[in-house]
A and B are shown apart, each in its own frame.
Chain A
Amino acid sequence: MKTKFLRILSSFLLMVAFGFTVQAQSISGTVTDENGVPLPGATVLVQGTQNGVSTDFDGNYLINASSGDVLVFSFVGYTSQSLVASSVTLNVSLSPDNALAEVVVTALGVKRNVKAVGYSITQVDGSELSSNKTSNAINALQGKVAGVMVTGSAMGAKGSSRVVIRGSSSLTGDNQPLYVIDGITINNSNLGSAGMWGGADYGDGISSINPDEIESVTVLKGGAAAALYGSRASNGVIIINTKTGAGAEGVGVEFNSTTQFDMVNLSLRDTQEIYGQGRDFSKLSDNIDNYQAWGPRMDGSMITQWDGVSRKYSLQPSALEAYYRTGETYTNTVAVSTSGKNSNTRFSMSNMANTDIVPNSSLNRNSFGINNSNKYGDKITVDINMKYVIEGQEGNPQMSDAPGNGNFSANLFAPSLNVMDMMGEGGLGRNADLTEFRISDSSYSQNPWFAAYNFINSSDKERFIGAINARWDVADFLYLRGRIGGDRYTNSKQNSTPWGTAFQPKGSMSESEQTYRQYDADMFIGTDNLQVIDDVSLTAFAGIGTNNQQYEAYSVSGSDFIVPFLLNVGNTKNQGHGYSIWEKQINSAYGSAELGFDDWAYLTVTARNDWFSTLSQKDKVAPNNDLYTSASLSLVLSDALDLGETISFLKLRGGISQVAGGASDPYALSLSYGIYGQGHLGASLGNISGGTIPNSEITPFEKNETEFGMDLRLFDNKLSIDATYYDNETLGDIVGVSASATSGYGSALANLGNISNKGIELLIKGTLIQTEDFAWNASINYTNNTSKVVATNDAGGNISMDEPRSRNITVTHIVGEKYGALYGSSFVRDASGSIVHEMVNGIPLPKIGDRKILGFGVAPTQLGIGTSFRYKDFNGSLLFEGKSGGQVYSGTNAYLKRNGHHKITVPAGGREAGFVPTGVMADGSKITTSIPAAQQEDYWRRSYSIAEQDVVDADYMRLRSLSIGYNIPSDKLEGTFISKASISLIGRNLFFLSNSVDNLDPESAYNAGNSAGLEYFALPVPRTIGLNVNLKF
């Protein structure tokens, strides 16, 4: 193995050298369509080699070829032409190809003609992710692909992303797709996130990928498309291929630079600015109840404030504006490509340097990538892909619960207080003795400056992703392919609650290191496009594979620093340590066969059997493996029948599929015990590990899906409509059935979950104007998914997911309802729906009712409307994106009401005029009591307990992205060493066309987990503007 690798490496180095020395004749020309309009991006290839180039924006190309070589000109939707290189100038006009020779990458990297594919598949060009980039590359897919919901979150630049394809198919397990990068699956685990009790996000696996390196993204949405990836593909697959050196002329150098600025969108915040700090309509002199805005009107009089300093009782600058800063992100990528007759190589280096909107929070990522492809003789091709990423994160902001969360405080300061007065010594939120400069009487609410500058949440990550793919064409009808690849990372985290923190005066810290290793190996044998008999072709393969994952983590922690601010666990009085390890593996055997009839009808069948280590145990009776199959059919009616001139292309497709999956966690089949802590007075401490009741007879779950679709293209492909209907159901989902805490456990593992999703995906694309100087395209994509929880456990009980810190609402799966109900305390209402009140101390307060379904956290509908234009050398694009039909529990608004900030707490005529609640008294009488100003806070403090008040629709439509670009004409670059240059202005999240949530971005979740629909003091979602420069040499 080692020698083989060395041989491959040395030949690869030789090829690189070769790329620098190649000499050949230059041939140039223009590729146009049948009307003479230039075709940018057409491919020109020297036949039988990998030497190829793309035409530029004006359809021009320049290629090195020897006299007598055959040049192949091709462009999607056009018939390819082959011409012998007989002169130095070759102009070519291509004519449209109704038969469409589009090729798509499908499961396991198999390239197939789009005609033959019997399921929905979407490809997105890499430039769409790199030109208007997001710090987590995958977020740029937002609103672009029908059926794919990318949910933004409010976790800052380092935040994880939530991607769900065709609805959530598991009640409690992972619902995010499998990511396959250059043929190798990668780990997309969240490396830390905030929960009910707070915490910080450390990003996910996909966030390591450099957007500038992405060539294309292919989304395999359904089971029929993804079945060959096996159990891990039950949530769909996102295949990312990175850029290669193919098509480079000699040595090509490309430089891309993006500068972006993030700014808090203050226009969303609309709170009352009339009443200042205080309680019971009185000022609080010399008191640090700083979150309460229940004081009298701000009158400009002098008052002794929380810190003993006398200041004006008047409106102060917005704490959000003062606390958050402008975030800056600089992404610079240099890539060197070279291409020779039998090889091509691309090497890239990239740096992303980010300072987040939260003070003292930053991210720095260096990525290195090398992709090399070599052909040995006619029969063997070897591709090597390697990525190495070093990432450092500092000052990751804490979210959700108040402790250590600067966002919590910044949102809640009374309008008469100035957050700049709270900066303390050196602006670090400290007193002179280095303890926290307290801004609240609750030790659990931190001075935001202290939180930002003294709490430590940082990480250093090193990651290596590497893959070797080899293909050997054994005979003209038979090939053998093998691949081996791995994803390995080490993540070192440091966390500290600093010395002097109000709730932990002596502080604490921890250091931990997680190492994750995953390898995949596959070998398969197959045949391509074999004519079995006349008019019947066969494309088939069969193979075996394995996926092994290992994880090991160490941690040391300590509390009570001996020397303040000396960050060393050895410098703490009480020390502890932790260790965990796991391993799991899936082995597989699989096969696929595609039969083509007369080039217009295609039938594909697949089968796969997976064996799961997580379902294996001695003496287990139930199976640890499952066989599952899929079949799909594609009928290209436009080839089979004469449909007339209008219809350029019509394909009907349909498929049925099964995918099985195992338990995601190892060791869940039996109860285990552990020794914890460090003992106590000589006694050891042992107890049951884990809060889930194990189940020794768990079997794989199955997901079944049926899909139908249509691909219709009209008017010479100027208008295309792609529509899909799907219906899937997960059976025997492995769920932790909620147990009453009084059972001693939180849940019990069972094969009882059953959830269905059905929906439609629609993509309409149109070329509105297409002339030589002006092109205008538009597209609309629409997704609607209806989920239904069919079964949870034998008794149809609820499955409770997360809850916010207010603890009055839970994301709950309820039989017969949609996925993820927001189930929380409600108002008591009478028969006519009026809110029932009770008289308490002379004022009417709403009664607290039972928990009810108050909404659903997952939006069923997504709409993306995009348009792009090109005028001569200018181009631009806009993407509007919206979601509707979902709800969110806004914990921030709940607090803004409770503490008198929300505008709803100011009745018409002001608080002085009294407040008559809407509703009735318990006896049905109308409320006549007007609550005086001094008692209005009692009303809002009571209604804070009622989650119903703060569950609102999370509908929005926003300008998700905008870019305006200019390509410097090639004639202006003549004589310079630059061959191509473009510049673009970019913007993201610039404004909302509509937003149904008060004061916040509707997508302000504090984690990317399954419990969508909970908002609680995360970061503001910023507006981003920036500049992108691309130079080719």
Chain B
Amino acid sequence: MKKILLTFFALSLVLSSCEFDKGFEEMNVNPSKASQLDVANKFASVVLQTSGGRYENWRASLIYQSVMIQHFSAVAGYWSGDKYYRNDAYATSLWDRYYPSAVKEIEDIRAQLTAEGNTGSEMGMTRILRVFIYSRLTDLHGDVPYSEAGQGYINGILKPKYDAQKDIYMDFLKELEEAVAQIGASTTLGVSDLVFQGDTAKWKAWGNSMMLRLAMRLSKVDAATAQAWAEKAAPNTMTSNDHIAMIAHTDGPEGINKNGHGEVFDADSNPRMSKTFVDWLKDDPRLPILAARRSDGSTAIADLIGMPNGSTGVTVPDTSIYAEPNRNVITGRAVPMVLQTYAEVRLLKAEMAQRGWSVTGSAQAHYDAGVKAAMQMLSGIYPNAAAITDDEVTAYLAAKPYDASKGLQMIGEQYWAATLLNEYEAFSNWRRTGFPVLTPTNDPGNVTGGTIPRRLIYPTGEGSTNKENYDAANARQGENNFTTRVWWDK
């Protein structure tokens, strides 16, 4: 017995002298990851995430908005926006993708720049891009997490509150003003700046152009505020098609590098040009650039027929006779993703003038310049697009001169045409202005009572992971459906 006790005593001595977790701290450091990166190594990523992947560009942008807004039309049942069907996953795809990528990354960069004491160009550029990211989310869904979003790690906020869209917009405008002011003559981001390649003057112009866009968004709900901010922004906006905010893409090597819309067109042969849009483009030099007949790619004007929205396999047995987005020009995987154009800016200024707000230049001058920019930008954005000449523009404007008596409608329609493949903007501007006047489809399966949706719904999963804030947002804004209007649309 004694021997046993001695043995165990000796053993316990041996054990207690061992260091049982020796080397564990070193072992638990990931050898293939970094603990922090320079912002210069992060900025390009957040820009590409903002451009978006195939997922949300397919669903939120094309399957819902592009057909709701009648740029395109589709027969296939899963093109839910054409007939106002409810498909939760599609409707929430921008939300599902943006918050864990673009939002998370822009908040990470902003926190890092703040910690590093950066108050210059990099912070200004980050703030402008941040406003752009959230503007897509709030315009599409209404009240959304903003002031507390993307801060799961930074501030430990797992359940961000939904900010009222009004508050978000006021903050947007303040952010843009401050951001533009802090952008200097140069930036260290250079090659990471996939929007303007380090040209800070263009960033300042874009910041003001975004301010104009977001200010005008308030024209219906709060015209005075809209006017005040629009007038503040207008003098320093983009001045030519060289200022277009767009993200350059390449055809690979991986999905992240490609234009998300381009990836969709690669995989999905369903979209056709909407009859509404093709009819409107009659005698417009843009038509053969934007559209081609599905069956043979013909761009002869006589061959370009739009397919009515709301069509089904019963009403349209053969969809190949219709025009589709021109696959030789606008559907490429290497074409840029456009965020905001000079044409939009001039059309917004035309609207300001038409409304009698203070802006240099007449409504007609802005309108004409906007139409010209919209036509001539195509060859700059799409390498395969034929350039539209000054003469063609002049002829078009001569045939359809600006008529102040229906000025807002003409501006709204041109804006709609100029924002093809920037469906977020097209949908927002239509909701605000009511132009173009669209005839809704009325498929038996629609969930909107036969009206065009006024927003896309929240993910119902938020009712489980963020219930209090989700419920509060619905109580404030209205039922979580497709017909509830966002604040600026009321």
Contacts and interface: CB of A to CB of B under 8 A. Distances in A.
Interface of A: 279-280, 282, 284-287, 289, 441-443, 477-478, 502-505, 525, 527, 530, 532, 538, 540, 542, 544, 559-560, 573-576, 579-585, 587-589, 609, 611-618, 624-625, 666-667, 669-689, 691, 693-694, 737-746, 748, 795, 797-798, 800, 807-808, 810, 812, 823, 825, 840-841, 843, 848, 850-851, 935, 938, 941-942, 945
13 contacts: A287-B313, A477-B4, A617-B28, A673-B34, A675-B34, A681-B191, A683-B44, A683-B192, A691-B100, A740-B465, A742-B99, A841-B446, A841-B450
Given A279-B312, A544-B15, A680-B256, A746 B24 contact: no
A748 to B, nearest CB: 6
Interface of B: 1, 3-4, 7-8, 11-12, 15, 18, 20-21, 24-25, 27-37, 41-46, 48-49, 75-78, 85-86, 88-89, 95-96, 99-101, 103-105, 107-108, 144-145, 149-153, 156-160, 191-192, 194, 248, 250-254, 256-257, 266-270, 312-314, 317-318, 442, 444-447, 449-450, 459-466, 469
B252 A851 contact: no
Given A677-B257, A686-B42, A686-B45, A742 B33 contact: no
Nearest 8 pairs between A and B by C-beta? A744-B104, A574-B252, A743-B152, A683-B44, A740-B466, A616-B24, A672-B33, A742-B145
Interface class of chain A by DSSP: strand
Nearest to A552: B32
A743 B194 contact: no
A841 B85 CA distance: 13
B44 A618 contact: no
A680 B44 contact: yes
A666 B20 contact: no
B105 A687 contact: yes
Contacts, number: 292
B263 to A, nearest CB: 10
By CB atoms of chain B within 10 A, which of A532, A560, A617, A685 has the most? A685
A762 to B, nearest CB: 37
A795 to B, nearest CB: 8
A686 B108 CA distance: 11
Given A530-B4, A542-B8, A942 B445 contact: yes
A584 B27 contact: yes
Contacts of B88: 807-808, 945
A540 B446 CA distance: 74
A681 B248 contact: yes
A417 to B, nearest CB: 15
A579 B28 contact: no
Nearest to B448: A840
Contact of B145 (A682, A740, A810, A935): A740
A966 B182 CA distance: 90
A807 B462 CA distance: 13
Nearest to B107: A744
Given A742-B462, A744-B107, A840-B447, 20 more contacts: A287-B317, A504-B266, A538-B4, A583-B27, A612-B24, A615-B28, A676-B45, A677-B257, A682-B191, A738-B158, A741-B96, A742-B149, A743-B152, A743-B158, A744-B104, A744-B108, A748-B152, A798-B464, A850-B460, A851-B460
Contact of A613 (B21, B252, B469): B21
Contact of B25 (A527, A576, A618, A689): A618
Nearest to A525: B11
Given A560-B252, A800-B461, A617 B145 contact: no
A589 B21 contact: no
B194 A851 contact: no
Contact of B41 (A579, A675, A677): A675
Interface centre among A477, A614, A688 (most CB of B within 10 A): A688
Given A287-B317, A587-B20, A666-B30, A741 B465 contact: yes
Given A443-B267, A694-B153, A851-B464, A685 B30 contact: no
B21 A611 contact: yes
B105 A742 contact: no
A291 to B, nearest CB: 10
A671 B36 CA distance: 9
Nearest to A691: B100
B24, B48, B101, B105 pick with most chain A CB within 10 angstroms: B24
Contact of B445 (A286, A686, A741, A938): A938
B153 A671 contact: yes
Nearest to A803: B461
With a 10 A CB-CB cut-off, give which of B21, B48, B194, B442 has the most chain A CB atoms.
Answer: B21
B460 to A, nearest CB: 6
Contact of B44 (A576, A685, A748, A825): A685
Contacts of A679: 44
Given A279-B312, A678-B254, A740-B145, A746 B33 contact: no
Nearest to B27: A613
Report whether over half of chain B's contact residues are helix, strand or loop; otherwise say mixed: loop
Given A589-B20, A739-B152, A800-B464, A674 B267 contact: no
Contacts of B464: 738, 798, 800, 810, 812, 823, 851
Contacts of B78: 442
A669 B191 contact: no
A538 B469 CA distance: 62
A682 B192 CA distance: 8
A581 B466 contact: no
A795 B468 CA distance: 11
B269 A443 contact: yes
A286 B20 CA distance: 73
Contacts of B158: 693, 737-740, 743, 745, 748, 797
A525 B252 contact: no
Nearest to A848: B86
Contact of B465 (A279, A681, A683, A739): A739
A795 B157 CA distance: 13
A683 B75 CA distance: 40
Contacts of A686: 34, 37, 41-42, 45
B150 A743 contact: yes
Contacts of A280: 312, 314
Given A478-B7, A613-B24, A688 B105 contact: yes
B402 to A, nearest CB: 40
A504 B267 contact: yes
B42 A742 contact: no
B455 to A, nearest CB: 17
B159 A678 contact: no
Nearest to A440: B76
Nearest to B190: A683
A738 B41 CA distance: 29
A624 B76 CA distance: 56
Contact of B35 (A503, A672, A808, A840): A672
Contacts of B99: 741-744
Contacts of A441: 75-76, 270, 313
Contacts of B43: 683
A1011 B21 CA distance: 34
Contact of A279 (B156, B191, B314): B314
Given A678-B254, A741-B100, A744-B153, A666 B28 contact: yes
A745 to B, nearest CB: 4
Contacts of A797: 158-159, 465
B313 A284 contact: yes
Contacts of B27: 583-585, 613, 616, 666
Nearest to B450: A841
A85 B31 CA distance: 66
A544 B16 CA distance: 11
Contacts of B317: 285-287
Contact of B444 (A540, A744, A841, A945): A841
A613 B26 CA distance: 9
A825 B442 CA distance: 26
A689 B41 CA distance: 14
A540 B469 CA distance: 58
Contacts of B25: 616-618
